[in-house]
Amino acid sequence: MTDQDLRRQAREWLVLLNSGNASEAECAAAESWRRASPRHAAALAEVERLWALLGQVERAPAVSPSVPRRTRRWSVPLATAACLLLAFWLAPPGWHADVRSAAGEIRSVQLSDGSQLQLNGATALDWDADAGGLRHVRMYRGQADFHVAADARHPFVIDAGQAHIRVTGTRFDVNMLDDQVLLAVTEGQVQVRDEQGHERAMQAGEQIAWQAGRLQVVQALDAARSLAWQRGRLVFRDRPLSEVFSELSRQQAQHVLFLDDKARELKVTGVFALHDPQAVLRAIETTLPVKLTRLPGVLLVSSDD
């Protein structure tokens, strides 16, 4: 597990423990998580230090299974200050990028080489038209449809997390979701590589994923799902709830924190309008055993069974 994953889990435990809703069993589980590894303990300590940066937010006491937090309630100013701190600390990667789209914004961009991009909401990337003879894009987050202008002398290279994509002229969709990157090729040919040096040639009508940095098996393109956003739709077919919220984060500026792994793995199936994320939340609340707790700028998700 990466340090980023550990910090994310530590944030979720700290939010729960300070929410006033943590049961004695949840406090015990948090303590067990902390004691499971020195890395866990270090991540939680780091989170607590950052939590205390705002003067209005008191430092959380050490985790203890014998002291339930149910009796500890946030005041409204305290909860607001804590959420503002979380929002600042959880600022998405690429906030400084050359090319960005806001949450809920579908944006078309023409690069200086003539390539056409369509950005899904909350997408960020840097563009370098002359990177040592290459045309280079570094994606930080989001999803984009690339229609690359043909230029055999200057290959078009994309780095998206641990995914590496190289083309001279073609059309494809790149989708960054948590620890995976999805590539859907609609025209031409694309060369892909992972951090271990494994390479594959992708043809139009194929798709592939990088999972935790490793290339997965090539599959037939599922355009109805992979490219649904270009038609104003969100299509979920037995998708984990964590992935669903990653998709929704492109349509609304709200941080989502899962308080347990069980909720992350619940499956969602349905077709929704891209610009109506609240409809997805309503469907989740009415069909799945989850509890959604809304705080300013933050949505807490926990299993409810």
The predicted pLDDT at position 83 comes to 54
pLDDT digit string (tens) for 221-243? 999 999 999 999 999 999 999 99
Q: What strands, in cross-sheet order, belong to the sheet with 99-100?
A: 99-100, 124-131, 134-141, 156-160, 163-167, 189-193, 199-203
* 128 within a domain of the structure (yes/no): yes
CA terminus-to-terminus distance, the chain:
28
- pTM of the shown model: 0.72
* 171 within a domain of the structure (yes/no): yes
The predicted pLDDT at position 255 comes to 79
* 204 within a domain of the structure (yes/no): yes
For residues 42-56, one letter each, b for 16 or more C-beta atoms within 10 angstroms of the residue's C-beta and e for the rest, the string is ebbeebbebbeeeee
* 24 within a domain of the structure (yes/no): yes
* 257 within a domain of the structure (yes/no): yes
CATH number at residue 117: 2.60.120.1440
The predicted pLDDT at position 109 comes to 97
Query: Residues 111, 217: one domain?
Result: yes
The predicted pLDDT at position 21 comes to 67
User: Which residues of the chain have a pLDDT value below 50?
Assistant: 54-78, 81, 88
> What is d(CA 286, CA 228) in angstroms, rounded to the nearest whole number?
24
